[in-house]
Amino acid sequence: MTKYKMHLLVCGGTGCRASASDSVVEHLKMELENKGLQDEIQVVMTGCFGFCEKGPIVKVSPDNTFYVHVKPEDSKEIIEEHIIKGRKVTRLLYQDPEKKEAITDSKHMDFYKKQIRIALRNCGFIDPENVEEYIAREGYMALGKCLTEMTPQDVIKEIKESGLRGRGGGGFPTGLKWEIASKNQADQKYVVCNADEGDPGAFMDRSVLEGDPHAVLEAMAICGYAIGATKGLIYIRAEYPLAIKRLKIAIDQAREYGLLGKKIFAANFDFDIELRYGAGAFVCGEETSLIHSMEGLRGEPTIKPPFPAEKGYLGKPSNVNNVETFASVPVIIRKGANWFNKIGTEKSKGTKVFALAGKINNVGLIEVPMGTTLREVIYEIGGGIKGGKKFKAVQTGGPSGGCLTEKHLDTPIDFDNLIAAGSMMGSGGMIVMDEDNCMVSVAKFFLDFTVEESCGKCSPCRIGNKRLHELLDRITKGQGTMDDLVRLRNMSNVIKDTSLCGLGQTSPNPVLSTLDNFYDEYLAHVKDHKCPAGECKDLMKYFIIAENCVGCTACARACPVGAITGEKKEAHFINSETCIKCGACMERCKFDAIIIK
């Protein structure tokens, strides 16, 4: 094996690839070949570094220099200046927004300081398409330890004592789930990995699979040994082509190295893994819906019990965990339950991965200890609100979660505290909103999603959410009444109490949380027929301030529907009946003559 003096690690996640990181790799390799350095320096396409806002990222190892927003044409300068002359390319370094200085090492960046990467431990460090790099970072040692030193009961005991809870949203104790599956006897059992990540703005599981697929394969094999299963199934949405590609490569490599298949580690244990593809139905994130989809049936939930651990895939006992849950398992086995349960809070151990998105400076993928506050995530790791705007709310838990406000910023993030605050952990989506967001429209947006994604099996979800959406639509158009606000709350509570599965039971959360925390905005829409945030188009009206208008006609020429009239050098007028509220006139006006009321 070639020993390289230096490595250039390039982010190869979906986000950075969309910004031409694959072209950066090719240009770096070409420049190295031109300089005759290809045998001394290796270019490695890794998984996601997490700092998506600054991608594509190139990290130089071993000196740990962190270059951001790298373009293919920057490759020549990186090779000539940094690699050959030993001078860092200052313009490509991360600039600290407060200190106004360049930071060369990622460990000194606020974005990374409070993170502890367990599920993401290898993302951004290894080539996900090379099993030897995973092995070099203690990969498959946990599986070897289980098969040579531990009984299945020992494995389950270790996972139970770690306090690991399911990271897919429910937070059910993972070790207990494995124990239940292990006690159900059958001629065939299955380990199922739920990679059907459907929350808007969420990309946690995708990034783990793209950056460290072997971690999930190893964990599934460990689970198989613990519960007595010989077959594993990964249910992944077909919209994740890169994750699918890297999973296929990883499975083939694991089989080639004898890490999947027959007599693994020369033990009396057989285990293999196959992929199953989903068509992108959000409801298939629920485990019984997922199982039906894998069986070729309609993706609908069923009443539990029986639980999948008793009667799952093809009627056999099946253990279902999501990607992030599995990704934490190998390191727990290697380092021990006591190491893991010292991280986090009393009832929520370990770390949690979040996809930080929305009106925030540092959009990206983060992993923090349970108990980290929302304030730390938003203002320290996230770098605060874009454009210096005022923070308004943060939606945690995706469409099933709630909108939390400024009064919740010091809430420790864990399963119980988020539920107590009126939201939930969910799978890890975290969308930040500023003063320009209308919370009634936000609730309507998430209801629109759940209405679209409802499987339609039960009436409360199928019909109730549709009626909720209609009420919100009326309110955002200025047609709502005070009685509608009462109906919103009553109907939401009925849907929560009577829906069949978690999708319906949690779908009213955005409505209830915004009613609780932003009731004044609902009143403004209903009583005053105004949207305080200026986001609801039907409640907006564009006006021209006569004394500011110089009659330049720029606004009239920009209007696509001819709603603006007036002579040259005279004040113009906007016809509210014709205006489509596109904002083109306001963008074109140089005299601040156009306002919204």
Distance separating alpha carbons of residues 432 and 493, to the nearest angstrom: 26
Mean pLDDT of the 433-437 span: 94
Pair (336, 473) in one structural domain: no
Distance separating alpha carbons of residues 528 and 7, to the nearest angstrom: 62
Q: Evaluate if residue 558 carries a pLDDT over 80.
A: yes
Please write the tens of the pLDDT for every residue from 23-48: 999 999 999 999 999 999 999 999 99
Residue of higher predicted confidence among 540 and 514? 514
Structure tokens at 409: 């910023």
Specify the pLDDT at position 66.
94
Q: Which structural domain, as residue segments, surrounds residue 36? A: 6-109
Q: Evaluate if residue 1 carries a pLDDT over 70.
A: no
What is the pLDDT confidence band of residue 203, given thresholds at 50, 70 and 90?
confident
At which of 322, 341, 360 does a domain end?
Answer: 341
* This prediction's pTM: 0.90
**Is 124 inside any structural domain?**
no
Pair (502, 562) in one structural domain: no
Q: What percent of the chain has pLDDT over 70?
A: 100
Q: Evaluate if residue 514 carries a pLDDT over 80.
A: yes
Distance separating alpha carbons of residues 415 and 427, to the nearest angstrom: 11
Please write the tens of the pLDDT for every residue from 279-330: 888 888 889 999 999 999 999 899 888 999 999 999 999 999 999 999 999 9
Q: For the domain that residue 19 is a member of, what is the CATH number? A: 3.40.30.10
Q: For the domain that residue 387 is a member of, what is the CATH number? A: 3.10.20.600
**Is 120 inside any structural domain?**
no
141-149 and 323-335 helices, crossing angle to 10°: 60
Please write the tens of the pLDDT for every residue from 561-585: 999 999 999 999 999 889 988 889 9
SS3 state at 74 = helix
| Cα separations in angstroms, 55 against 22, 114, 394, 546, 576 | 12, 20, 24, 46, 43
Distance separating alpha carbons of residues 197 and 285, to the nearest angstrom: 7
- As for how many domains the chain has, the answer is 5
| Cα separations in angstroms, 324 against 143, 566, 592 | 17, 61, 50
Pair (456, 395) in one structural domain: no
**Is 465 inside any structural domain?**
yes
**Is 123 inside any structural domain?**
no
Specify the pLDDT at position 108.
87
Specify the pLDDT at position 230.
97
Distance separating alpha carbons of residues 88 and 85, to the nearest angstrom: 9
**Is 286 inside any structural domain?**
yes
Q: For the domain that residue 257 is a member of, what is the CATH number? A: 3.40.50.11540
Long-range CB pairs of 87-93, under 8 A, 24+ apart, other chains included: 92/58, 92/67, 92/68, 93/65, 93/66, 93/67, 93/68
Peptide bond into 330 cis (omega under 30): no
Residue among 236, 273, 269 nearest 255 (CA): 273
**Taking a C-beta distance cutoff of 8 angstroms, is the pair 418, 411 a contact?**
yes
What is the pLDDT confidence band of residue 453, given thresholds at 50, 70 and 90?
confident
- Give the list of residues 6+ apart from residue 263 with CB closer than 8 angstroms, or none: 269, 270
Pair (323, 359) in one structural domain: no
| Cα separations in angstroms, 28 against 18, 19, 78, 234, 354 | 18, 16, 8, 35, 31
Mean pLDDT of the 491-508 span: 90
Q: For the domain that residue 581 is a member of, what is the CATH number? A: 3.30.70.20
Q: Evaluate if residue 243 carries a pLDDT over 90.
A: yes
Mean pLDDT of the 515-519 span: 94
Pair (417, 316) in one structural domain: no
At which of 528, 562, 578 does a domain end?
Answer: 528
Pair (262, 323) in one structural domain: yes
**Is 119 inside any structural domain?**
no
What is the pLDDT confidence band of residue 169, given thresholds at 50, 70 and 90?
confident
Pair (185, 280) in one structural domain: yes
Pair (272, 413) in one structural domain: no
- Give the list of residues 6+ apart from residue 593 with CB closer than 8 angstroms, or none: 544, 545, 548, 549, 550, 555
**Is 116 inside any structural domain?**
no
Q: For the domain that residue 461 is a member of, what is the CATH number? A: 1.20.1440.230
Pair (415, 466) in one structural domain: no
Strand order in the sheet with 65-67: 41-46, 6-11, 58-61, 65-67
Beta strand 564-565 pairing with 391-396:
unpaired
**Is 534 inside any structural domain?**
no
Residue of higher predicted confidence among 560 and 282? 560
Distance separating alpha carbons of residues 281 and 499, to the nearest angstrom: 18
At which of 388, 410, 434 does a domain end?
Answer: 434
Please write the tens of the pLDDT for every residue from 64-99: 999 999 999 999 999 999 999 999 999 999 988 877
Distance separating alpha carbons of residues 385 and 206, to the nearest angstrom: 26
Distance separating alpha carbons of residues 34 and 337, to the nearest angstrom: 50
Please write the tens of the pLDDT for every residue from 128-142: 999 999 999 999 999
One-character DSSP codes across 289-318:
HHHHHHTTS------SSSPTTTS-GGGS-E
Pair (226, 317) in one structural domain: yes
Pair (299, 218) in one structural domain: yes
Pair (70, 105) in one structural domain: yes
| Cα separations in angstroms, 279 against 14, 58, 547 | 19, 34, 57
One-character DSSP codes across 387-437:
GGPPEEEEEESGGGSEEE-GGGTT-B-SHHHHHHTT---TTSEEEEEETT-
